Structure 1
Amino acid sequence: MRTVNMHEAKTQLSRLVKEEFIIANNGRPVARVVPILDAPPVPRIGFLPPEVASQMRVPEDFDDMMSEEIAELFGTER
Structure 2
Amino acid sequence: MEGEARVKAEQACFLPCTDDEVPIIGEVLGMKGCYVATGHSCWGILNGPARGAAVAELVLDGRATIVDLSQFRLCLDRQ
Q: TM-score range by the shorter chain?
A: under 0.3
Q: TM-score, normalised by structure 2?
A: 0.21
Larger-gyration structure (1/2): 1
Q: TM-score, normalised by structure 1?
A: 0.21
Structure with greater contact order relative to length (CA < 8 Å, sep ≥ 6) = 2
Structure with the higher strand share, 1 or 2: 1
